[in-house]
Amino acid sequence: MEKNTEIETPENEMDMEMNFEAALEDYLNSDFGELDEGTIVNGEVVKVDNDHVLVDVNFKSEGQIPSAEFMDAEGNMTVAVGDKVDVFVVNKDEGEGSIHLSRERAKRMQLFDKLEELQEQDGVVPGRIVRRIKGGYTVDLGGVEAFLPGSHVDLRPVPDMDALVNQSYDFKILKINRRRSNVIVSRRVLLEEQRAEQRDKLLGTLEEGQIVEGKVKNITEYGVFIDLGGLDGLLHITDMSWKRIKHPKEMVQLGDDLELKILNFDKEGQKVSLGLKQLVPDPWENIAEKYPEGGKHVGVVTNLADYGAFVELESGVEGLVHISEMSWTRKLRHPSQMVKAGDEVNVIVLGVDQDKKRISLGMKQVNPNPWDVVAEKYPEGTVLEGSIKNITEFGVFIGIEEGIDGLIHVSDISWTKKIRHPSEVYKSGDTVQAKVLTVDKENEKFTLGVKQLTEDPWTQVPGKYPVGQTVTGTVTNITDFGLFVEVEEGIEGLVHVSEISRKKVKSPSEVFKEGDSIEAKVIHVSADERRLGLSIKQTTEEEPRKPSSKTYGGSTETAAPTLGDLLREKLEEASGEPEE
């Protein structure tokens, strides 16, 4: 059998050699050299392991990229063999046929391209605030970190800057510097644009009396600013509640959603006045019918002032108990002596002014006026007994009834004794019997007297000591104008200096001293004026001159000196001349 074997000829070998050379030439002259450094090219993943990912970009060799550049946030590989990916050509070596690629730099460059495109188109980019830094925040834009100035975070200053960290928002791109990899973004610009759009839309729909919804944006002492969605409205503190509140924070907090009524709308000035209390009926309507004068009610003390206490009768309705209407008997310096905030009290309606929204209340009127009881129980002339509660320089206070004291004035303690201070006679706690002199309910005065329990001894003085009668008494006090002489206990007469002697007396103290016993004639008497006028010189003038001695059987006997003799001797000594 003939074996057919093809034997290669030299011509065939030459063809094969030419084909190999052509293929080599094609390889050497391929597009590998077209890969420019600093550009992004598309390649194919040819190998994936734990450390590296090989990417074929149609170069002499594959590029080796760290596996970490293909991991997601959870550490999972995001590519597989055969996937097409964009990579950045860091550098290449034509001689050695090596190439250095980067997936991260490709993504970063693509992101910058996208950011520049958004900036040109005035678009927005989503981002997440990752941390606070000096002057603002760092924002992650999905691979590129941008700077967010603190003034561009919101339309208004943010109370809690840390609360925005890890929050995601949309941002406007203000500036990009690719060379320095710097990006500056703003949230405020975007909010202003959105707000302007919302405001224009809102201005066309708002009208007075309309019910709207808003969010508490800012709280001040005088009211609350409400974001109506593009336009701020003011809810004044007086329009928050029918009842009295000290600060808006008592009712609302930042971020609260509220339903409100438009009270006033200035479209040109873009000002809106809002009301919250207007959504519920005014409790002051028909207030006089609900709380007629004389009605008794229970309320809660809400506030104290120097002049009284405010009492809430129902939500939104408060009345004032003036300090003078708190107690019949106590003289209060401040309402806190009677009540405190939160106390439940019984009150009587004294008056209602619906126009001014005022209600006058009284606490003391809940109980009978003790002065009425006292006036009825202790009419003038009644003799009563009580303990001394207080002693002052002008009198003594006696406890009569709860909260009511009677005054015994110092002048009503004794008819005759001159008492400089009541403590000379009484001490606190002493039980005293006295007569009721006056009961003045209007001025709340209750006066008593002790001396009125006995008859005034001066009423008997004119009968006991008529004019012309000679009396004997004791000098109790010496003054420049005369001598006070006690003729009986509690009854004193006055010997004026002109009634001591016919001769001029410079000073009564030169002639008499306290305790001296004298004789004098009554020259004036008045029970009403409580005066008893006496004269010494009139007794001496009428008294006949008597011999100083008597002769009995040729002998002389000295007679005892009389009061007139002694007075003459003293006057002679005082004047230095013998009396005729």
Q: What is the pLDDT of residue 24?
A: 47
Q: What is the pLDDT of residue 123?
A: 82
For 487-498, give the secondary structure using H, E and C. Answer: EECCEEEEEEHH
Q: What is the pLDDT of residue 11?
A: 53
Closest CA to 493 of 515, 510, 471: 471
Helix (H) or strand (E) holding 483: strand 482-488
List, as own/partner pairs, every contact residues 457-462 make where C-beta atoms lie below 8 angstroms and the sequence separation is at least 24, other chains included: 457/415, 457/416, 457/490, 457/491, 458/415, 458/491, 458/527, 458/530, 459/527, 461/491, 461/525, 461/527, 461/532, 462/525, 462/526, 462/527
Tell me how far apart the alpha carbons of residues 54 and 308 are, in angstroms, rounded to a whole number: 89
Q: Which architecture, in CATH terms, is 204-279?
A: Beta Barrel (2.40)
What is each CA distance from 346 to 146, 295, 361, 444, 555, in whole angstroms? 67, 11, 10, 24, 104
Q: What is the pLDDT of residue 27?
A: 47
Tell me how far apart the alpha carbons of residues 45 and 47 are, in angstroms, rounded to a whole number: 6
* Token pair in block for residue 420: 């400089």
CATH superfamily for domain 287-366: Nucleic acid-binding proteins (2.40.50.140)
Q: What is the pLDDT of residue 346?
A: 94
Q: Which CATH number fits domain 122-191: 3.40.190.10, 2.40.50.140, 3.40.920.10, 3.30.410.10?
A: 2.40.50.140
CATH classification (class only), 457-572: mainly beta
Dihedral class, residue 330 (left if φ above 0, else alpha if ψ from -120 to 50, else beta): beta
CB–CB of 255/215 below 8 Å?
yes
Q: Where in the chain is the domain with CATH 2.40.50.140?
A: 40-107, 122-191, 204-279, 287-366, 370-453, 457-572
Q: What is the mean pLDDT of the chain?
A: 81
* Token pair in block for residue 255: 């971020």
Q: What is the pLDDT of residue 541?
A: 57
* Token pair in block for residue 179: 């060379």
Per CATH, the number for 40-107 is 2.40.50.140
CB–CB of 57/99 below 8 Å?
yes
Which amino acid would we find at residue 404? I
Q: What is the pLDDT of residue 32?
A: 46
Q: Which architecture, in CATH terms, is 370-453?
A: Beta Barrel (2.40)
Residues of the chain predicted below pLDDT 70: 1-34, 37-38, 93-97, 541-580
Q: What is the pLDDT of residue 534?
A: 93
Q: What is the pLDDT of residue 201?
A: 77
pTM over 0.85, yes/no: no
